[in-house]
Amino acid sequence: MIKAVTGTRDILPNDIPKWNFLLSIVESVFTKFNYKEIRTPIFEETSLFARGIGEATDIVSKEMYTFIDRSGDSVTLRPEMTAGVVRAFIEHSLDKKQNLNKLFYAGPMFRQERPQAGRFRQFHQFGAEALGSNDPLLDAEMIIMSYDIFNRLGLKNLIVKINSLGVPESRENYKKVLRQYVEPHLNKLSSESKKRFDTNIMRIFDSKEENDQKIMANAPLLIEYLDEESLQHFEKVKQTLLSNKIPFEVDTKLVRGLDYYTHTTFEIVSGSVGSQSALCGGGRYNLLVKELGGSETPGVGFAAGMERILLACENEKSFLLDDEKIDVFIVTIEKGLEKFAYQTAVDFRRKGLIVDLDYLSRSVKAQMREANRFNAKYVLFIGGEEFSRDEIVLKNMRNSEQKNFSKKDLDKIFESIKEK
Ligand code: HAM
C-alpha cells in the first residue's frame, strides 16, 4: 500500500472546519490591520533561499527540498515565505505603488526535518510582512496581531519572548567578544556547536546540549553591546507592547534560525504542546531586500505554524465548533421517483440550500440513518400514499413536526425551510 510520505499529513474532512475557523480568524485580524493577501509560487529558484535565509542556516544547509528540474534548473520547495514575498516585492516594484506594503499569506511550506509531534516536512504557515518602514510600531504590530489571533482562538498558556539583534556593526563587534569567550571552551562543546563557532557563532545559544548550555550561561550578551539607536528602537517596541497589554519577556538568548534579522526578534511559545513549542516567530530584516537585489528597504514580519496552533487549541480545548448541519436530506420512499428526488435536490441547491440524498438505493431506514449522520435540519419524503395524492412531506427534525405540501409547490417548501 502506498502511504503519505514521512512527515506529511492528510487533513481529512472532519478536521477541515478547524482549519477553516483558524483561517477565518487569521484573515479577520490581518484585514483589520489593513494587511493585503499575497500568494507566491510554492517553488522558487534555489538561490533565492540560499541568499535570503543564509547558506549556513540549518534550513538551507540541511532541510531544503531541492531538485534539478527537467530543464536543468535548481529549484526548491519554499521552506518559508519571507524570501518569496521579498522576491515578488522587488520583481513587481511594489514600492513604486505604495511606500509601505503590508502583506499577509497562508499556505504550505516544506522542510526536511526529523518529524515529531508538532514538526512536519510539509506544514502550514500564516504570516505577515510589512515592507517600507523602520518604525518600531510595526515590530510591535506583528506581535500584537499574532497575540490577538491566539487570543481569539481562546489560547491561554502563552509566553511572548522578544530580543534585539541590533544592527550588523554592533553585532559584528559583539561576535568578536563572544568568540573570545567561547574559544577557550571550544573542545568541550558539542560537535554541532563547534561547527557553529565557525559558521554562525550566536546559534550556539540555541544548543539543546546541557554542557553547551552550561558554558553559554556565562557568555556575554548581545544586548550589552547594542548601539544607542538599536537600544532606542527596542525600547519603543517594548513600550508599545506594554501600552497594548501584551505581556512579554526579554530573552537575550533568542537568536532564531534565519540569518536575515536585524533589531527585533520574537517568538510566542505555548506551554501546551511539548518540545516544539514555538507557535510563531519573526522579526525585523532591514537588509534583506537589498541582499536580494532590491533597493534598501526596511522590513519586518512573522510566521506562525498552523499545525502547532491547532494542536495547542486541541490540548487546551480552547474552542468548540458547532456540529456541521445540512438543510435537507431527501428520502426517496419508492423506486421510480429517484429522478424527481434528484431534480428537487438540484433545484434547492441552486437556491442556496445544503441538500443531500441517497445514491445507493438504500432502504428508507438506512436513508433516515444517513439523514441523522449529516445532522439534517429537515427530511423531505418523496413517495408513498402522499405522493400518489401529489403531495410530499417535510419533517422538521428538531421538533418532529410534519407538514404536507403539493409536490408542485417547491417554492413554498423552500420558503419554510429557509425561514427556520
Ligand atoms: P520560523 O521560525 O522558521 O520563521 O517558522 C515560523 C513558525 O513556523 C514556527 O514558529 C513554527 O510554528 C512553524 N514551523 C516551522 N517549521 C516547522 C515544521 N517543520 N513543522 C511544523 N511547524 C513548523 C520563519 O519561517 C520566518 N519566515 C518568519 C518571519 C517572517 N520572519 C520575518 N518574517
CA of 304 to the centre of ligand 1 (A): 6
Residues 6+ apart with CB under 8 A from 8: 120, 121, 122
What is the pLDDT confidence band of residue 208, given thresholds at 50, 70 and 90?
confident
Confidence at 199, pLDDT banded by 50, 70, 90: confident
- Summarize pLDDT for 368-411 with one digit per residue, the tens: 999 999 999 999 999 999 999 999 999 999 999 999 999 999 99
Is the minimum distance from the CB of 125 to ligand 1 under 6 angstroms? Answer: yes
279 CB within 6 A, ligand 1: yes
Kindly state the average pLDDT of the residues 92-116.
Answer: 97
Evaluate if residue 419 carries a pLDDT over 80.
Answer: no
CATH superfamily, region 328-419:
Anticodon-binding domain (3.40.50.800)
Cβ(281) – ligand 1 distance below 6 Å: yes
Atom 17 of ligand 1, residue of closest alpha carbon: 119
What are the structural domain ranges in the chain?
A: 16-167+227-316, 328-419
Identify the residue whose C-alpha is closest to ligand 1 atom 20: 119
Q: Is the CB of 9 under 6 A from ligand 1?
A: no
Q: Tell me, yes or no, if the pTM score tops 0.75.
A: yes
Q: Which residues pair with 77 in a beta bridge?
A: 43
The CATH class of the 16-167+227-316 domain is: alpha beta
Percent of the chain with pLDDT strictly greater than 70 = 100
Task: Identify the bridge partners of residue 159 per DSSP, sorted by sequence position.
Answer: 269
User: By alpha-carbon position, which residue is closest to atom 31 of ligand 1?
Assistant: 282
Instruction: Give the atom of ligand 1 at the shortest distance from the alpha carbon of 115.
Output: 19
In 3D, which of 381, 312, 284 has the Cα closest to residue 117?
Answer: 312
Residue of 40, 125, 307 with the most ligand 1 atoms within 8 Å of its CB, for mutation: 125
Query: No. of H helices and E strands in the chain?
Result: 16, 16
- Verify whether ligand 1 is closer than 6 Å to residue 54 (CB atom): no
Q: Is the torsion defined by CA of 87, 89, 95, 96 positive or negative?
A: positive
SS3 of residue 260 by DSSP: coil
